[in-house]
Structure 1
């Protein structure tokens, strides 16, 4: 397994008059993303900058796996969210793995 930095962008059906959590299908999308976190696929994720994009750190075998998993997102089929970029990420620093100090 490898880590990837994944950028998601709003799709053609995104309603610019609504906030992210007000988009249609939010509950289904949120439940889907929560499952990806529970399964260990998504490590970190959330909107960045002005909220037009989201950034996720994911752990997967390869880009094909990422594309296949995210194709199951209800927002993907609704045209609300799509992959912007996928880049391999070599993580050298990880504060989540802090060891106790003595």
Structure 2
């Protein structure tokens, strides 16, 4: 039986496209796939030290809080950060829950009770993709 050349070409194109699609769906290296580290969701709320008369940028320890989040991000320990309603959410990767708590206890705004936090295991069942929103200049 002789195979038609256009059928062979179609099969080659389809197999290349399928392998490219599979590669695009599976990132080679991702913080969410680091096997030695666990993920923890940290919900951050305003605490008793929050001054309702001041905007967030004028709160005590707010700059230090932002610097701490940047430090965690630069160290690869903060995987994701977001705000919703009047809360913040960060996802940390750490060797243990105690290590994640230690990261949060280093934050001056947590120490000053401007913010409080609750830490939870974060078990990813679907990796998906999160896009960051562009900030206005």
Q: TM-score, normalised by structure 2?
A: 0.62
Q: Greater helix percent: which structure?
A: 2
Q: Match of 1:81? A: 115
Structure showing greater radius of gyration is 2
Unaligned runs of 5+ in 1: 97-102
1:90 partnered with 2:124? yes
Q: Gaps spanning 5+ residues in structure 2: where? A: 1-36, 131-137
Structure with greater strand share of residues: 1
Separation in 1 of the partners of 2:64 and 2:40?
24
Aligned pairs (5 A) from 1:5-84 = 5-49=41-85, 51=86, 53-84=87-118
Q: Tell me the number of residue pairs that the alignment of Structure 1 and Structure 2 aligns.
A: 94
Q: Report runs of 4+ in structure 1 exceeding 4 Å deviation.
A: none
For 1:11-62, what per-residue CA distance to the aligned partner results, in whole angstroms no more than 9, with x for missing partners?
111111222222122221111110000011111113211x2x1111111112
Q: Residues 8 and 83 of structure 1 are in contact (CA less than 8 Å); yes or no, is this contact kept in structure 2? A: yes
Q: CA RMSD, aligned part only?
A: 1.6
